[in-house]
Amino acid sequence: MERELIEGIAIIQRSKCKEIVLRSLNNGIKMPSKISKETKISIHHVSRYLKQLKEKNLVICLNEDYKQGRLYKITELGKEVLEHI
């Protein structure tokens, strides 16, 4: 199993909230505010989790240059992580 996948599985298994955020993105492209409403996780925490997931290449931001209205999408690695947990 490749290192990136193992690290992704580890980061998700350490935090149920990160798993919930990642699973939310598995249903489509979303803004942090929508993820927050769907999951009942505060927008502050959703934003922090998205940053950490992005650092591990589990999600990508589609419009990084926007200050508001950023859209996030799960990556293929993120989908593979979900299959293994």
Domain boundaries along the sequence of the chain: 3-84
CA distance 24 to 48: 15
Asked if the model's pLDDT at residue 41 lies above 90, the reply is yes
Q: Which CATH number fits domain 3-84: 1.10.3720.10, 1.10.10.10, 1.10.260.40, 2.40.37.10?
A: 1.10.10.10
pTM of full prediction above 0.85: yes
Residue 52 binned pLDDT confidence (cut-offs 50, 70, 90)? very high
| Torsion sign over Cα 45, 23, 17, 35 | positive
